[in-house]
Amino acid sequence: MKLRPAPSLVVRCVIALSLVAGLAPSLALADETPSGGNQLVNNIAQNTRASLERVRATGSAAAYADPATYAFVDDGDVAPLTSYPMNEKFDLRDRNVVTPVKLQNPWGTCWGFGAIAASETSILSELGWGADDLDLSELHLAWFSHTPLPLDDESGQGGEGYYTASNGANDRLDTGGFGFTATSVFSSGIGPVLESDVPYRNKEGITENNSSGTPVYYSREGNWSVDESLRFVQAVELQESSVLPSPAAKNVNGEYEYNASATAALKGELLDGRAISVAFCADTSRPGQETPAQYINLDTYAHYTYDDAYANHVVTIVGWDDTYSKSNFLEGHQPPADGAWIAKNSWGSSDEEFPNKNKWGINDSGYFYLSYYDRSLADLETFDYDTTELATGDAAESYYLNQYDYLPSDGVTAHHEATPVSMANVFESNEDQIVRALSCETATPGTEVTYEVYLLKDGFANPRDGELLTTVNMRYAYGGFHRIDLKDKCYIPADQKFSVVVTEKVGDQYAFLVDSAINKNGYDQLTSQGIELTHYNVGVVNPGESFVYTDGEWIDWHDAITDIKAATGNEADFDNFPLKAYSDPIGLPPSGFSDVHEREWYSGVVDYVVSNDIMHGYAGTDLFGPNDTLKRQDLACLLFNYLAPEEAALWQGEAWKDATCETPFVDAQEPAYYIPALNWAYKAGVLAGYDDGSGRFGVGDTTSREQLAVVLMRAAQLNGVGLLAALDDFPDAGEVSPWARESIAWCVDNGLITGSDGHLLPAKEATRAETAKMISVFDQLRKG
C-alpha cells in the first residue's frame, strides 16, 4: 500500500509493505519434520509458561518480560566509554540540547514523554541545534502505539496491535508502555512527527481549569484521536536504539548488586549527546496522585527506591552529579553512597506556559535527582536517528519498508542455543526496488549479527534457496534496534520474492529472539484471578512470512507458534521477526550518471568513488562508462590522483605537456597526459611493465582483473595495509597466473574480489565498474 502525508506535514511518507501475507501459500520446506518435537520450540513454550507464571505470582503484567533478557556483563564492551575524561558533574542542559519540560496530564503517557525527550536531545546534539529548535509529538506516538492496524489493512497484518480493556476510545492513552515500545513503533515507520502537526490536546480544545477558571491542562473529554492517514508518517528515521545496562543489577543469587560499569556506560551515552529514557518505581506514576512519600524526599526532590520493585514511571536522564550527597535522600532510607542522575520529568514546570505549567521538582523546575543506587532502574534506552533529511528539509517522497512486525513491543525474550539458529522473513516486491538498508533487533550485549539477502528462486524450498545478493557482519555493544545502510545495494525486480536472513551469536551460542505478549484469552484468564491488566494483544503471523532455522531444518514460524500455543494454554500471542528491508523506487543514483542505474550492482560503489573524489565520469558528459574497460595508462592516472593528490595537483591543466618521461618503457612517448602519473607509479613500485622482454608498459592495453589485483596489493603495501595469504577455493583458482596468486588471495580475503557466479575470472578485462568496486573497498581499508 502507498500512503501520502497530509499537505501540512513536511515529513516523509512510508510505504509499509508486507506483501507475502495473505498472498502466498505456506511453503513446503525440504526435509521438514513435525515442529512439535523441535527442541527450540519446546524451549520457547517453557519460557512462555514461565512468563505467565511470573504475572500470576506477582500480580503485575510488567513481570511478563524476562528480566534476564538484556542482562549485562562487563566483558570489556564498555571500556571505550569508561575511557572518556569524566568530570564529577555533567548536564546536557549546559549544551542547550534539552527541550523544555512538558506536562503529560491528563494521561498516563510518561513513557512516551520519556522516549520523545530522549529522542529530541539526541537529534539536537547531532544537528547542533538549540533546545527550542525541535518539538516532537508525544500524542502521535502514544495513539498509534495503542491503536491496532485496521482490520482491512492491505499489509495482511490487519488487526495486529494493542487492544484497550475498556471501551473508551481515549482510554488507550492510559495503558502505559516503555522506551522499547517507542522503539518498535518508530522502527516500523510510524513517527516521530512534529508536535505542530499532532499536538497533545483534544480537538475541541476542552480544558481542565483551576478554581480561578484558568486553564491548567487539556481535558480527558473530547476527541484525542489521530487520523489513520497519519500513521505511516515520519519527520526523521530511527537508525538505532541502545538498551543500556542497568546499575540496578542482581547477581547470580538474585541479590541486588550495584553495577559500576553500567553507570559508566550511561555516562558515556550522555557525553555523546544522548539523553536516556529510564523506567523506575516512583511513589506516584503521574502528577496529582495523593500517596505517601515512600521513596522521594519532597524537600530536596531526591529519589531512591530501596526495595526490589517493578517500574511504574518513565523519565529522562540528562546528566549526573557524583558529589550529590546521600544525606539529601529520605532519612532512614538513604543509598549506600553519594551520586545521582539528573532527571527530567513530564510533570510540568513553573517556567513553562499552559499546557505545561505546573509546580513540581527542584525549584519547581520539573527536574529531580535519582540515586545511582536506585534498585528499580530498568529499560534504560537511548535513540539515534538519521537526521540528514531533517537537516536539509529535502525528504524523498516515499520509500518501501518491507516488514511484518506491527505488534508494539515492551522488549523481547532471547533464547540461546548451541547449534546454528537463524531467523528469516520472506517478502515480495510489487515493483522494482533497491534495498538500501536492513535492520534487526538484539538483546544480549556484544551480539554478533550476520545479515543476508537472497533473491529467491521460483518455488524456492527455504529462505536461502536463491541468489545471495549481499552479506554483512556487525557486532553490537548493546541490545536494541539496529539499522545498517548497505554499501552494496540489492536490486529486487517486481513480483519477485526475496528474503532477509539474520543469524545472531553471543560467544559460542546462537541467539533467537521471541516477541510475545498476553492475548485476549490470557487477559480473560488472568483478570478472572484478580490481576489488573490494562490491555491485551493480537499478533498476526501468516504462513509463509517468517521462518526459523534450527536443528538443521527450516520451520515456518506460523507452524511453530501453533505448537507453542497448544503447549501453553493459548494465553499469549506472538509477532513476526523484527527483520526489515528498507527500499527505494528505481531511479538514478545520487551520482546522476545517465548510464548508471540503481538496479545495477555497481550503483553504490560508483556513488562511493565519485563522492570520495576517487573516480569521475567522462569530462563534458553525464556518462561514467561502467562497462567500459580501463586502459593501463588510465589506471596509472587514477592511482596517481588518488594516492598522491598533492603531487598530482602540480600536473593539472596543461602542465603535463612539460613532463619528461622518467621510465624505461619504450611505448611511453612524451608529451602525453599520462606521463606524470606513469613516472610516479614506476618510482613508487605500484605499476611495472611487461616482463616479456619487450620493454613495454602496455600503453593502450586493457587491464585484467588479476593485474588490477596485483596493483592494489602493491598499493596496500605502500600504504601499510595488512596482507593475508589464503585463497578461497574458487573452481577457476587454477587459472590465476602464478605472479598474481598472492595478490588475488589478498583481494579475496579483504573483500575487493567477491567472484562472479562463484568464479574469479582472473584474465577477464576489468571494467570501470569493477575497478570502482575494488578501489572503494581498498579505500575503506586505507581509512581503517
- Is 61 domain-assigned? no
Query: Are residues 507 and 549 located together in one domain of the fold?
Result: yes
Which position has the higher pLDDT, 288 or 469? 469
Taking residues 678-685, report their average pLDDT. Answer: 91
Closest CA to 73 of 270, 271, 277, 257: 257
- Is 72 domain-assigned? no
The total of structural domains in the chain comes to 3
Taking residues 241-256, report their average pLDDT. Answer: 84
Distance CA 473, CA 204 (A): 52
Query: Are residues 488 and 563 located together in one domain of the fold?
Result: yes
Average pLDDT for the chain: 86
- Is 60 domain-assigned? no
| Whether residue 149 has pLDDT greater than 80 | yes
Query: Are residues 90 and 233 located together in one domain of the fold?
Result: yes
Task: Taking the CA atoms of 601, 604, 605 and 610 in sequence, report the sign of the dihedral they define.
Answer: positive
- Is 602 domain-assigned? no
Query: Are residues 562 and 697 located together in one domain of the fold?
Result: no
Strand duo 237-243 + 378-386: pairing: antiparallel
Query: Are residues 288 and 429 located together in one domain of the fold?
Result: no
| Whether residue 545 has pLDDT greater than 60 | yes
Among 541, 568, 584, residue at a domain's last position: 584
Lowest mean pLDDT, pick from 35-39, 169-173, 221-225: 35-39
Query: Are residues 383 and 421 located together in one domain of the fold?
Result: no
| Amino acid (one-letter) located at 613 | D
pLDDT, tens digit, 9 for 90 and up, residues 49-95: 888 888 898 887 777 877 666 765 545 444 444 455 689 999 999 99
The percentage of the chain sitting over the pLDDT mark of 70, rounded to a whole number, equals 88
| Whether residue 32 has pLDDT greater than 60 | no
| Whether residue 753 has pLDDT greater than 80 | no
Report the SS3 class of residue 377: coil
Distance CA 642, CA 627 (A): 21
Task: Give me the pLDDT at residue 35, please.
Answer: 42
Task: Give me the pLDDT at residue 4, please.
Answer: 29
- Is 263 domain-assigned? yes
Task: Give me the pLDDT at residue 587, please.
Answer: 62
Task: Give me the pLDDT at residue 26, please.
Answer: 34
| Amino acid (one-letter) located at 571 | E
pLDDT, tens digit, 9 for 90 and up, residues 386-433: 998 787 776 556 788 999 999 987 678 888 889 999 999 999 998 888
Question: What backbone torsions phi and psi does residue 297 show, to the nearest 5 degrees?
Answer: -90, 110
Task: Give me the pLDDT at residue 68, please.
Answer: 67
pLDDT, tens digit, 9 for 90 and up, residues 508-535: 999 999 999 999 999 999 999 999 888 8
Task: Give me the pLDDT at residue 588, please.
Answer: 58
Distance CA 17, CA 22 (A): 12
Which grid cell is 403?
516488514
Distance of CA 4 to the CA centre of its chain: 24
Distance CA 530, CA 164 (A): 18
Which position has the higher pLDDT, 701 or 26? 701
CB 72 within 8 A of CB 445: yes
Query: Are residues 385 and 419 located together in one domain of the fold?
Result: no
Query: Are residues 368 and 506 located together in one domain of the fold?
Result: no
- Is 180 domain-assigned? yes
Among 584, 604, 627, residue at a domain's last position: 584
| Whether residue 196 has pLDDT greater than 50 | yes
Closest CA to 648 of 617, 680, 616: 680
Strand duo 422-428 + 466-476: pairing: unpaired
Query: Are residues 521 and 637 located together in one domain of the fold?
Result: no
Query: Are residues 221 and 313 located together in one domain of the fold?
Result: yes
Which grid cell is 131?
533546545
CB 622 within 8 A of CB 593: yes
Which of 574-583, 620-629, 699-708 is predicted most confidently? Answer: 574-583
| Whether residue 27 has pLDDT greater than 60 | no
Task: Give me the pLDDT at residue 397, please.
Answer: 64
Rounded to two decimals, the pTM is 0.76
Task: Give me the pLDDT at residue 238, please.
Answer: 95
pLDDT, tens digit, 9 for 90 and up, residues 358-369: 999 999 999 999
Domain enclosing residue 368, as ranges = 78-390
Query: Are residues 154 and 300 located together in one domain of the fold?
Result: yes
Max Cα-Cα span within the chain:
103
| Whether residue 448 has pLDDT greater than 50 | yes
Paired residues of 438 in beta bridges: 484, 581
The residue whose grid cell reads 512470512 is 545
307: CATH = 3.90.70.10
Query: Are residues 370 and 472 located together in one domain of the fold?
Result: no
- Is 318 domain-assigned? yes
- Is 64 domain-assigned? no
